[in-house]
Amino acid sequence: MAMQVLANLLIGLLWVFFQDDWSVLTFFSGYLFGLFVIFILRRFLPTKFYLFTLHAVFRLILLFITEIIVSSIVVISIIIRPKMNIKPGIFSMETTLKGDVEVTLLALLITLTPGSVVVEISEDNKIFYIHTMDIPDLSNSVLKSKDRFENAIKKVTRS
Amino acid sequence: MNAITIIELGIAIIILIGTIVGFFSVIGFLRLPDVYNRAHALSKSAALGVLFVLVGTFLFFLFIEGYFSIKLFLGIFFVFLTSPVSSHIICRTAYRSNVPLAEISVRDDLKEAIFVDKEINN
């Protein structure tokens, strides 16, 4: 991805040289042209076209924001209940993600989602130990959102 | 009631939602039983509160002052980057130094895992 952005910037700079017009607007049109060139050549590049990756990143952020709002409402409704009958506990969850970046990203997202904290990750990066406030309800919702997070993360990191 | 007033009202509501979320997180901090549950209430709802307050501030600067402040988005980004790490470390340290779970807890998968680990190491 980094190489593609660099190539795109280079094409934009070349465009400025060819036009001999040193303005931001010229550079921008050159950048768009470079985007078009890379889009045409995308099948011959080793990695995915980087706008697709950016799109996946954007989708991940959107998913994350909806998730954080939904689970915040759940947690707040638990907190302001007059009689708080919660069943907290630690449950284990397996993940199919591999590599430091993917596992870190998933742990970050799960920890940011209210009602669940990753307490420990096993040595082989396979099992997450997650503490939740209410085992029956929230562990199911964590498992569900985990699948969605995993798919979104895979779209970002794997080409 | 012109456009500016309406925009200001909307921004005020967004910031108010953020403050209310922060208030609820403090209530949760006071009411929940043990350190692990308090970590949920405090750090997470605070993250959503910060999100709302900073987005409201961003919209205020954009519409009222006419100034696009990318700094506020950097603030959101860094809060979201650091707050899960700190709550993870707090919970992990607490667990490793044998802080007990609250008595109402129903399940503890990690106990077995750590226990088995120690058996193998010994």
Residue B39 vs residue B11, higher pLDDT: B11
Q: How confident is the model at residue B12 (pLDDT cuts 50, 70, 90)?
A: very high
Using the Cβ of B20 and the Cβ atoms of chain A, whether some distance falls under 8 Å is answered with no
Using the Cβ of B71 and the Cβ atoms of chain A, whether some distance falls under 8 Å is answered with no
Q: How confident is the model at residue B1 (pLDDT cuts 50, 70, 90)?
A: low
| Contact between A88 and B102 using a beta-carbon 8 Å cutoff | yes
Using the Cβ of B79 and the Cβ atoms of chain A, whether some distance falls under 8 Å is answered with no
Q: How confident is the model at residue B119 (pLDDT cuts 50, 70, 90)?
A: low
Residue B46 vs residue B121, higher pLDDT: B46
Interface of A with B in 51-70 (CB under 8 A): 65, 68-69
Using the Cβ of A141 and the Cβ atoms of chain B, whether some distance falls under 8 Å is answered with no
Highest-confidence segment of A96-100, B17-21, B46-50: B17-21
How do residues A3-46 score in pLDDT, each as one tens digit? 888 888 899 899 898 888 888 888 889 999 888 888 888 888 88
Residues 6+ apart with CB under 8 A from B75: B50, B54
Is pLDDT at B45 greater than 60 in this prediction? yes
State the CB neighbour count (10 A cutoff) for residue B79: 17
Is pLDDT at B16 greater than 90 in this prediction? yes
Using the Cβ of B31 and the Cβ atoms of chain A, whether some distance falls under 8 Å is answered with yes
Domain coordinates in residue numbering, chain B = 3-121
Q: Give the whole-angstrom CA distance, residue B71 versus residue A13.
A: 28
Surface-to-core class of residue A130, CB atoms within 10 Å of its CB (0-12 exposed, 13-18 middle, 19+ buried)? buried
Is pLDDT at B84 greater than 70 in this prediction? yes
CB A119 within 8 A of CB A131: yes
Is pLDDT at B40 greater than 90 in this prediction? no
Is pLDDT at B122 greater than 70 in this prediction? no
CB A125 within 8 A of CB A86: no
Q: Give the whole-angstrom CA distance, residue A123 versus residue B63.
A: 50
Q: What is the largest CA-CA distance in chain A?
A: 73
What is the pLDDT, as a whole number, of residue B13? 93
| Contact between B27 and A86 using a beta-carbon 8 Å cutoff | no
Query: Which regions of chain A are under pLDDT 70?
Result: 159
Question: Which residue in the set A86, A117, A118 is minimally distant from B104, CB to CB?
Answer: A86
Using the Cβ of A74 and the Cβ atoms of chain B, whether some distance falls under 8 Å is answered with no
- Sheet (strand A89-94) strand order: A116-121, A127-132, A89-94, B107-108
What is the pLDDT, as a whole number, of residue B120? 60
Residues of B in contact with A113 (CB under 8 A): 44
How do residues B87-111 score in pLDDT, each as one tens digit? 888 888 888 888 777 777 777 776 7
What is the pLDDT, as a whole number, of residue B118? 60
What is the pLDDT, as a whole number, of residue A128? 85
- Helix residue ranges per DSSP H, A20-134: 24-40, 50-79, 100-112
Question: Which residue in the set A80, A112, A127 is minimally distant from B44, CB to CB?
Answer: A112
